[in-house]
Amino acid sequence: MRLREELPCRNGDDGKEEVIEEVQNQLCPVMNSGFSCPKRVIVVGYALTSKKIKSFLQPKLQGLARNKGILFVAIDHNMPLSDQGPFDIVLHKLTGREWRQVLEDYGQSHPEVTVLDPPDAIQHLRNRQYMLQAVADLNLSDSYGKVGVPRQLVIKRNASAIPELVNRAGMTLPLVAKPLVADGSAKSHELSLVYEQYSLHKLEPPLVLQEFVNHGGVLFKVYIVGDAIKVVRRFSLPDVSKWELSKDAGLYHFPRVSCAAASADDADLDPDVAELPPRPLLEKLAKELRWRLGLRLFNLDIIREYGTRDHFYVIDINYFPGYGKMPEYEHIFTDFLLSLRPGKYKKNPAR
């Protein structure tokens, strides 16, 4: 069967109808023998970068999707979005004011279509000044553990003033420096670890400074796909001792700390470090953030403060992360798309 993305995407395109009919026949081979088929093809229009297409739309995902009656259709950026489809779901991860306006207009004129996710909500996560505010506003202190965010300071300009601003804020070194804009680019994932105050002026604003929290060199990536939650371990920055802090000087740059190659799921780790955060805590956190952020597709980078069992920090939130690195993502994601069928979808993430 031809994949839909190989075909031009036009309103009333006969080729598209043929592909959908072919998928329907595969789902219900006896449909033409007098039996009715209860399944309906779900058409998902996608607007993704080439890198995201390669990592996310893997053959295994597309094959499983077809078997479940889900058809992925490439959105043609050279045509008005309203002239394409019809779509049941629009899945996107593109940046730019023009694209956001296109989606907003489309959502208003096609309220029956599920847009994953709202452009304004996504934009909120692209600025680290506001990214973690939803977590900071929570009060998740109960028998399952405490969740907070590291103290942080936003520096928009004037690197020479950073040491004074850090002193005034009463922040403790070492500090982690991250770019202010989190747009998914390689640069937005770069970070620096600053050991001493005199190196602070070497940083390049705009950026966010976070107090470094020792966490055993392991972080937990919590993937959220609608109501589903999947947690994996990743190696992170190593702990910093007082002795190291007194001996090390300057700052160290890291292009990207957490990646698939740094998986810690099968590593021989201290059980106190490797133990996953309590499931009830993650479920409560995910439920609150789905509602507060207005998003269904995101992940959390969480660390456990070393020496504790129940004190956690959220250090980053990413929209539509690398789900291709998540175990069993094909089943989780296709089940999620099926849950958005007409009659099941709720306009706002349930609290």
User: Residues marked as binding?
Assistant: 52, 93, 128, 178, 189, 210-221, 236, 301, 316, 318, 322
CA distances from 209 to 8, 222, 234, 297 (A): 47, 23, 22, 26
* Rounded Cα distance, 216 and 298, in Å: 24
Residue listed under structure tokens 């998914």: 184
Residue 45's alpha-carbon distances to 17, 113, 289, in angstroms, are 15, 10, 26
Beta 114-116 vs 141-142: how paired, if at all?
unpaired
d(CA 105, CA 269): 50
Residue ranges for the binding site for ATP? 128, 178, 210-221, 236
Instruction: Look up tokens 């306006």; give the residue.
Output: 101
Q: Which residues are annotated as a binding site for Mg(2+)?
A: 301, 316, 318
Q: CA-to-CA distance for 253 and 212, rounded, in angstroms?
A: 14
Binding site members for 1D-myo-inositol 1,3,4-trisphosphate: 52, 93, 189, 221, 318, 322
Q: What is the CA radius of gyration of the chain?
A: 23
